Structure 1
Amino acid sequence: MADVLSQSEIDALLSALSAGELEAEELPKEEEKQKVKVYDFRSPQKFSKEHIRALEVIHDNFARIISNYLTAQVRKNTKINIQTVEQITYEEFIHSVPNPTIMTVFKMPPLNGTVLFEMNPTFSFNVIDILLGGNGERTHVNKEFTDIDKNIIFNVASGLVSNLKLAWEDVLDVSIEIENIETNPALNQTLAPNEPVALITFSVEMGKSSTFIHLCIPYLSIEKFLDKLVMQNWFQSNEDEENEHIRKKIRNRINNVEVDVAVQLGKTDIIVDDFLRLAAGDVLVLDNKASSPVDVFIENELCYYAKPGIMGKKMGISILDSVRKDVESDE
């Protein structure tokens, strides 16, 4: 910590500056330490931490769903857990994928572009081995995928990918459109090499084997829906839906309540003696003209103006306007 100058030392310093004995540049300055964050323009960070967290929550649910699905398909206890969610470039993803592999290319409308789901050879051949009657415990297989292998694994991959619809349903209503399956990742040039993607890595434990599968979502696919990946909006949306449900329920209850409706054609004042002398055929003159609107009362409250008339063999009214009442506030 720097020493604190006394008042006399401050005065002496100011005097020296005024007399020109000391230049301002000669005053000691504290070293300013600035923290500089390295930014790589070749790999821009377009996914925020909030977006990464939202993708992790969505696909953690996806991992649980496909765990149950795969267990039912291979009749073997399978555990799938999400490991990492990170942003990399498309080129880095392609270079990290082994050749051959099983890469499912599909679309998720209304998301734009294509999404990639990669299942490495160890996982793919283990699944194929189990479905063909084996135990699925081969540790390493060094061969190309045959047409039969591709057809078998295509059905499994299609089932896994289709469950993304369930995982995304609370965020966005998507549909799954599978285009094809590639075994050579280098041939899949759907994106520019430096295009940022979200790479979601899942660990798969099936019997004694342990391996990984990957889901690659390009930034361009979800760029227009980034607001949906803000978790705060999810809770707000759920709250709005709940409030709307309550409003509809209250509205339905109110709609079934019976109320008294009365129409006042007019009014007049008479004395008690005339009232006692009233008989059939007497005529009372009202204060309202026959062509003028009549008052409609709901539970003794004036609410509408209407025009009287006849509907079939019954009398009726046609609402002309509502009564706008000023709200009185306590002062």
Structure 2
Amino acid sequence: MTVQDLGVPAPKTVEAYDFRRPTTLAREHSRILEVGFETFARQWGTQLTAKVRVKSTVAAESLVMQSYDDYVASLPSTTSMVLCVMDGQSNSGKMVVQFPTAAALGWVARMLGGHGDKSGLERKFTPLEYALIKTLVDEALDVLSYSLGGLLTGTAHVESIQYNSQFAQAAATTDLMIAVAFSVRVGDSATGVTLAIPADALLPQLGAVNPMASHANAAGLVRDQLAHVPVDVAVRLAPAAVTPAQILNLAVGDTIPLPHPEHEPFHVAVGGKDLAQAMVVRKGSRVAARIVAVEGRSLD
């Protein structure tokens, strides 16, 4: 019998909060970042699969904003910390990509055609291993830049690799970092990877929380938005009416007569509605449609 069975409430977990260093992300900001890092996780998993030649998956586990000191305290003392500099962010700290050294050695072994199990192996990378890991992380940074879009304004590239988390000076101890934890599975082995980005490099692009836009020109805003929505355009012949029996009895080689006159222009339709007429022309090596009439008005 437990204390809950006796009607005694379970003890609550209390987390200390330092009001001098508010490190809580706004819900809107957190959701935007989560979407970006989830996209990065999927893309990076595909990239890893191609590099190590074994099925790999990456999943984003958590996202927090914390001081660099707190981030380092959550890491093992001996690990691989890849320090990355970001162009255009000279006043902020460096980006950090952290993963166990044994896991990285396993990725390198698979890239070279060997076995990926290097559990328990802790040592510095050889020059060849360093070059392969650097290339692997640089390519992951390209995927990160693509996934975050305009949130990450500067491009990042690997500067160095440190093997002791306590000695790696990527930022000042009180600097805020956006820390993301990932679960990386390569073949049958799984490991944890963390990514830390200086908050100053991301937060300015997130904008104000709950931004309020003026609705004075709501109609114009809607038109501007709809004008950039892609739609499917179809160039088609006049439709032919057939019976269900003809459809069910169709076979290879059958011919369906079309009522479209041979020299009449085709119909240009959007969403099933005819909006214009066009003649078929050639543009280079492609077939194109030249509009000759719009809504009954000739363009001659």
Give the TM-score normalised by the residue count of structure 1: 0.56
1:114-193 map, 5 Å: 114-169=94-149, 171-172=150-151, 174-184=153-163, 185-193=165-173
C-alpha distance in structure 2 between counterparts of 1:219 and 1:240, whole Å: 35
C-alpha distance in structure 2 between counterparts of 1:245 and 1:164, whole Å: 26
Task: Select the residue among 100, 103, 112 that pairs with 2:82.
Answer: 103
* 2:29 paired with 1:54: no
Tell me the secondary structure at the aligned position of residue 122 of structure 2: coil
C-alpha distance in structure 2 between counterparts of 1:231 and 1:137, whole Å: 50
Question: Do the aligned partners of residues 231 and 172 (structure 1) sit closer, same or farther apart at CA in structure 2, a change above 3 Å counting?
Answer: farther
C-alpha distance in structure 2 between counterparts of 1:128 and 1:228, whole Å: 43
How much identity, in percent, do the aligned residues show?
A: 22
Aligned residues: 219
Which residue pairs with 1:221 in the alignment?
201
Question: Do the aligned partners of residues 61 and 85 (structure 1) sit closer, same or farther apart at CA in structure 2, a change above 3 Å counting?
Answer: same
- Cα-Cα RMSD: 4.0
Tell me the secondary structure at the aligned position of residue 45 of structure 1: coil
* 2:47 paired with 1:44: no
Tell me the alpha carbon deviations over residues 78-134 of structure 1, each in whole angstroms, 9 at most, x when there is no partner. Answer: 011010111221012123333241414131657973322222213211111112221
Which residue pairs with 1:245 in the alignment?
228
Mapped contact 1:91–1:193 kept (Cα < 8 A) = yes
Tell me the secondary structure at the aligned position of residue 92 of structure 1: helix
Give the TM-score normalised by the residue count of structure 2: 0.61
* 2:186 paired with 1:203: no
User: Which structure shows the bigger proportion of residues in strand conformation?
Assistant: 2
1:266-277 map, 5 Å: none
The structure whose Rg is larger is 1
Unaligned runs of 5+ in 1: 1-36, 259-331
Which residue pairs with 1:80 in the alignment?
58
User: Which structure shows the bigger proportion of residues in helix conformation?
Assistant: 1
Unaligned runs of 5+ in 2: 1-14, 234-275, 277-292, 296-300
C-alpha distance in structure 2 between counterparts of 1:230 and 1:110, whole Å: 26
Tell me the alpha carbon deviations over residues 23-54 of structure 1, each in whole angstroms, 9 at most, x when there is no partner. Answer: xxxxxxxxxxxxxx964134312521221221
